[in-house]
Copies of this chain bind each other. A is one copy, B any other.
């Protein structure tokens, strides 16, 4: 998925939001926005939004010297998610369709995001999403693929959401490789966040090798690309990973909430929709 014109103002919204987290110095923030403003016209726009986003966040890090501006917020959301873990676990265990409930919870976890249009109340939003209809629902195909799968690759998105991923991984009963970002970018999950969320007990954690807020295959490590090519089922969480993999032919299932108009348009759904879509069947009819 290529960046759309609608992404352009959004890069400034994101830069502003991130800058405000790093500093309260308005002069500094204006300098950052100006630097993003001068940089954007130099960038190619026929790439994924997460590739441009990567450059924008690099500018903020370089300008402020803060490498992980979302560290505190990430810790906070992992803690919040862990505090919900016991109840969510019980919910799954008492459910007539354990896997479906775990799948829904993992998608519900995708509401945790500080990138684009982030206003969320974790507990309330999770409860709402649990009863929300899927705009695209390839769950039956997912179950068939899961039944046959021997090697599952699970592409992480945000820190905190990782706890919800853990719940799903515990229901898969198959070997899972869990791929995180190489280094901090927005609130995306790194190895540290996955470990804090308890993912390490149930799956092997690898880095994608890529420091963008989404998988961009050309930037990924050999280790990741090997896991990617060998997996017979790939669970891809969130918009950032979708953006880089939307045209791929691997057995990918996209689990996400469509948080912005650009991604919603790609899927042919309303903004705010929740989606479980197999790659190449991913548009609503």
Please name the residue on chain B nearest to A6 by beta carbon. Answer: B16
Q: What size tier do the contact residues of chain A reach?
A: 20 to 34
Check: A73 CB closer than 8 A to any chain B CB. no
Check: A5 CB closer than 8 A to any chain B CB. yes
A interface secondary structure, majority: helix
Please name the residue on chain B nearest to A35 by beta carbon. Answer: B41
Q: How far is the CA of A45 from the CA of B31 in the complex (A)?
A: 11
* Given A37-B38, A38-B37, residue A30 in contact with residue B45 (CB < 8 A): yes
Are B5 and A16 within 8 A (Cβ)? yes
Are B12 and A29 within 8 A (Cβ)? no
Are A34 and B41 within 8 A (Cβ)? yes
Check: A129 CB closer than 8 A to any chain B CB. no
Check: A149 CB closer than 8 A to any chain B CB. no
The residue from B5, B13, B30, B38 contacting A9, defined by CB atoms under 8 A apart: B13
Check: A219 CB closer than 8 A to any chain B CB. no
Check: A26 CB closer than 8 A to any chain B CB. yes
Looking at A20, A29, A40, the one whose CB has the most chain B CB atoms below 10 A away is A40
B residues within 8 A CB of A26? 5
B residues within 8 A CB of A120? none
Are B40 and A34 within 8 A (Cβ)? yes
Please name the residue on chain B nearest to A45 by beta carbon. Answer: B30
Q: List 8 A-B contacts (CB under 8 A).
A: A5-B20, A5-B33, A8-B12, A8-B30, A9-B9, A9-B13, A35-B41, A38-B38
A residues adjacent to B (C-beta < 8 A) = 5-6, 8-10, 12-13, 16, 20, 26, 29-30, 33-35, 37-38, 40-41, 45
Q: Lowest 10 CB-CB distances: which A-B pairs, in order?
A: A34-B41, A9-B12, A9-B13, A37-B37, A37-B40, A8-B33, A37-B41, A9-B9, A5-B29, A12-B12
